[in-house]
Structure 1
Amino acid sequence: MNQIWGSMEQYSTVVWHWPIAVYLFLAGLSAGAIISAIVVKWMKGNDVSSSDGIIKAGAILAPVTIGAGLCLLIFDLTRPLMFWKLLIHYNFGSVMTLGVLALFAYFPVVILFLLGVFKKELIDNGPFKFLAPVADFALAQSKMIESITLVLAVGVGAYTGFLLSAMNSYPLLNTPILPALFLASGVSAGISANLVVGLLFFKSSTGESNVGYLHGLDVKVIFAELFFLFILFVGMMYQGGATAHVAGAALSTGGLASLLWIGVIGLGLILPIGLNFALPHGVKHSHGFVIFNALIVLVGVLALRYYILYAGQTFVG
């Protein structure tokens, strides 16, 4: 009898595990939260952002979630105390390097946005009075900062997809549609998180135009997410050969297929769309339903990140 020495994990195709899935979720949520907050501010005419709960929610969620995601990513490294080397050694042909640079620029601007929105709470009446000049600059240059933040947030939201699509030997990951899918799902998660935090902690009301606007926008983004997911698998099927075999296995094999059909498509995509079309106006715009709808969308987006990461590494042809 042949003996195999060591752990069986060394023979597994899965290299990136659940902390990476959570990081991908948090990074997308951060980008989506700030994108949706800025869109609301621009499209709905909220010149005084500190008075709006949805914009407050985006301002605080963006840095908190990306910070938590980066901490998780660092601790998942084989040598976490050496993470600083990523900040000084660059390879501009690497997607990882471009992502690090985008995050390096993204984090300071979302902090500026936060200081501008929470100037009264954190600086005027809070413990950070020494940051008053920075907050004044953030308010004076708000349009410029918001424009830069929006561009960087789109980059961060799509970067998570580009990072996985650069894995050439994994057919489910090596597809150009993945960045668009991750950006759309990240925006959906950000909208949902803003609604939950705005309604629960910043006294927003479902009667406010901003809440209704974001709630309706989320349904449209979910449609886009469903479309991109459909295109991903149809494109793989039309490629034929090993790629089509991988797509078929990923759609039908084991617990990962169940996660896709039940958790991602059923719970995270079809259920929110169906409820928003089937329920009467008064119900689907009620406080409880908006929060419930947002929570199931968040669960669906997390399930999508987990599914793509694990299925992409498990089904390799």
Structure 2
Amino acid sequence: MSPMWGSTAQYEVIHWSWAIAVYLFLAGISAGSIIVALLVKWNRHERSNSSIWDAMIKSGTLVAPVSILAGLFLLVADLGRPLSFYWLLIRFNPLSVMSLGVLFLLIYTPIVLVFTLLVFERTIVKYTWLSPLGSFVEWVKSLHSYAKTIEYFLMAAALCVGSYTGFLLSALYAIPLWNSPVLPIVFLTSSISSGIAVNILIGLVFFKSTINTESIKYLLVLDLRVIMTELPLLGIFFIGLFYGGGEVSSVAKAALSHGGLALVFWLGVIGIGLLLPLATVILALRSHVYRVGYILTNATAVLLGVLLLRYYIIYAGQIYLG
């Protein structure tokens, strides 16, 4: 192995692999995309009194269920005994962050699927091969009277899913780099940032007919605020570790300055994931550039940065133990 990445011996301590990092990434995208979709609906779509679903809402409700189901499949498959996953449901412990996380996912996943059906109801009705499911379609239509309640529950569940992974890591006191109350907030803000990126990207590519440039501008302004929040949050996260003293301080210094993981953080998370999108968002807002190619670059940078943040936290936490 290259000296830049360190010796192979240090990776013997890895118990949570890349699959967990990807799961955290997918769960964050799901929560972030639905949070962003609901914010657009409440702050842009409803104010305009439009009868057409905004592209940013459609993209969020399409991405959210797909990404959470893919993440759950990856998580269960990564378990040594995937068929034993049901024990987390039977042996529920309200004091366990993992048990609470499973509960959040059990609440969030069906609600997000129901909301997706509400958004794409007109599309579902168009398909004649679904005519035998007429009662199902009528049931979906009946849910519109409860739409606002569904949205409120969905927002609460999405906030829980977006932050619980951070709480799960921070509850593991034996790993100094994870033991920080700021970590759940960092994960939630990065989830929202990834949600903004993927909603704009999918909306521009697949839902051009319902694009609203004011909604894109609204999300770019929101993304600017989220990035400006995430940068100081990461600073607070590491400053808290530095002043933790003892092995916590040495772990933070090593994670930021040793080996390839430090490069992942400074170049990938900070450079590509935060500073590059920050520059492109400022440029977009000034020049009103909302082209697909331009947004693709911005979205790719954000999503890569969020993925690398999960990867960095998972691996650095297990490698640098003081």
**TM bucket normalised to smaller:** over 0.9
2:204 paired with 1:232: no
The CA deviation string for residues 240-281 of structure 1, in whole angstroms up to 9 with x for no partner, is: 211110000000010100000000000000111123335683
Provide the C-alpha distance between the structure 2 equivalents of 1:233 and 1:98, rounded to a whole number of angstroms. Answer: 27
User: Partner residue of 1:290?
Assistant: 295
User: Partner residue of 1:82?
Assistant: 84
Provide the C-alpha distance between the structure 2 equivalents of 1:55 and 1:226, rounded to a whole number of angstroms. Answer: 27
Moved more, 233-242 or 117-126: 117-126
2:175 paired with 1:173: no
Contact 1:86 1:100 in 2 (8 A): yes
Q: Once the 2 structures are TM-superposed, how far is the Cα of residue 185 of structure 1 from its aligned partner?
A: 0.3
Where do 1:77-156 residues align within 5 Å?
Answer: 77-125=79-127, 127=130, 129-156=134-161
Against the structure 1 CA distance between its residues 284 and 206, is the aligned structure 2 distance closer, same or farther, given a 3 Å change threshold?
farther
Contact 2:178 2:313 in 1 (8 A): yes
Give the letter for the 1:65 counterpart.
S
Provide the C-alpha distance between the structure 1 equivalents of 2:186 and 2:51, rounded to a whole number of angstroms. Answer: 29
2:20 paired with 1:20: yes
Q: Once the 2 structures are TM-superposed, how far is the Cα of residue 297 of structure 1 from its aligned partner?
A: 0.3
Provide the C-alpha distance between the structure 2 equivalents of 1:298 and 1:15, rounded to a whole number of angstroms. Answer: 25
Give the letter for the 1:16 counterpart.
W
Q: Once the 2 structures are TM-superposed, how far is the Cα of residue 118 of structure 1 from its aligned partner?
A: 0.4
Where do 1:41-52 residues align within 5 Å?
Answer: 41-46=41-46, 50-52=52-54
Contact 1:205 1:287 in 2 (8 A): no
The CA deviation string for residues 147-182 of structure 1, in whole angstroms up to 9 with x for no partner, is: 000000000000010111111111110110000000
- Which residues of structure 2 form unaligned runs of 5+? 1-7
The CA deviation string for residues 265-303 of structure 1, in whole angstroms up to 9 with x for no partner, is: 000001111233356833643332122111110010000
Identity rate, percent: 47
Contact 2:29 2:194 in 1 (8 A): yes
Contact 2:54 2:210 in 1 (8 A): no
Q: Once the 2 structures are TM-superposed, how far is the Cα of residue 186 of structure 1 from its aligned partner?
A: 0.5
Moved more, 171-180 or 198-207: 198-207
TM-score by length of 2: 0.91
Q: Once the 2 structures are TM-superposed, how far is the Cα of residue 209 of structure 1 from its aligned partner?
A: 0.8
Against the structure 1 CA distance between its residues 152 and 309, is the aligned structure 2 distance closer, same or farther, given a 3 Å change threshold?
same
Contact 1:237 1:243 in 2 (8 A): yes
SS of the counterpart of 2:321? coil
Against the structure 1 CA distance between its residues 42 and 247, is the aligned structure 2 distance closer, same or farther, given a 3 Å change threshold?
same
Q: Once the 2 structures are TM-superposed, how far is the Cα of residue 208 of structure 1 from its aligned partner?
A: 1.7
Give the letter for the 2:100 counterpart.
L
Contact 2:54 2:212 in 1 (8 A): no
Q: Once the 2 structures are TM-superposed, how far is the Cα of residue 77 of structure 1 from its aligned partner?
A: 0.4
Contact 1:22 1:302 in 2 (8 A): yes
User: Partner residue of 1:64?
Assistant: 66
The CA deviation string for residues 224-255 of structure 1, in whole angstroms up to 9 with x for no partner, is: 11111110001111112111100000000101
Q: Once the 2 structures are TM-superposed, how far is the Cα of residue 142 of structure 1 from its aligned partner?
A: 0.9
User: Partner residue of 2:222?
Assistant: 217
SS of the counterpart of 2:15? coil
Provide the C-alpha distance between the structure 1 equivalents of 2:10 and 2:277, rounded to a whole number of angstroms. Answer: 40
Contact 1:165 1:175 in 2 (8 A): yes
SS of the counterpart of 2:208? coil
User: Partner residue of 1:54?
Assistant: 56
Contact 1:116 1:135 in 2 (8 A): yes
Give the letter for the 1:105 counterpart.
I
Contact 1:250 1:315 in 2 (8 A): yes
The CA deviation string for residues 125-151 of structure 1, in whole angstroms up to 9 with x for no partner, is: 352544223312332211110000000
User: Partner residue of 1:3?
Assistant: none
Contact 1:170 1:312 in 2 (8 A): yes
Moved more, 88-97 or 152-161: 88-97
Give the letter for the 2:58 counterpart.
K
SS of the counterpart of 1:236? helix
Give the letter for the 1:239 counterpart.
G
